Amino acid sequence: MKDKKKKKKKLQRQLEHLSALAKEKDAATKLNEPWVGILTLDVDYDNLDRGSFELDWNDYFITRLIKAGYEGKEDHDLVDQWFNQICRDIVLETYQQEEADPEKREKALPSGRKEYL
C-alpha cells in the first residue's frame, strides 16, 4: 500500500513539474524568447556514473543556437552540441580551478616540508 502511495505522489510531482515547464515554455514563446528546460533526469542508482536528461526547447532557442554557430540537420543535433559544450566547459572550469588551487597541488615531503607541483 505504501509503495502505491509513493508511486502516486511521485507521478503527481512529475506531472506538476511538466505542467510548470509547459507554462514556462508557452510564456517564453509568446514573448519570442528562447527557452530550454529539463523534462526528466534519470539516474541509474546501481551505477551512479550513468544517467540521462530529457530536454525540451522552443524554436527561438534553436534560432539562437544557429546564430551562435551550431549546425545540424535536426533540432536535437543542435541541442546535443550545445549541451555537450556546456558539459565540456564545466569539466574544463573544474580542472582549471583545481590546478589553480595550490593546496590541491601540494605534496608532503618526508622532511615535513611541502612541495608544490
Element (H, E) at 114: strand 114-116
Residue 89, C-alpha cell as written in the block: 566547459
Indicate the burial class of 49 (C-beta count within 10 angstroms; 0-12, 13-18, 19 or more).
Answer: exposed
User: What is the full per-residue pLDDT of the chain (117 aa) written as tens digits?
Assistant: 678 888 888 888 888 988 999 999 999 999 999 999 999 999 999 999 899 999 999 999 999 999 999 999 999 999 999 999 999 999 998 888 777 776 666 777 787 777 666
Please give the model's pTM, rounded to 2 decimal places: 0.74
Element (H, E) at 79: helix 75-100
Calpha distance 69→83 (Å, rounded): 14
Q: Are 82 and 89 within 8 A, CB to CB? A: no
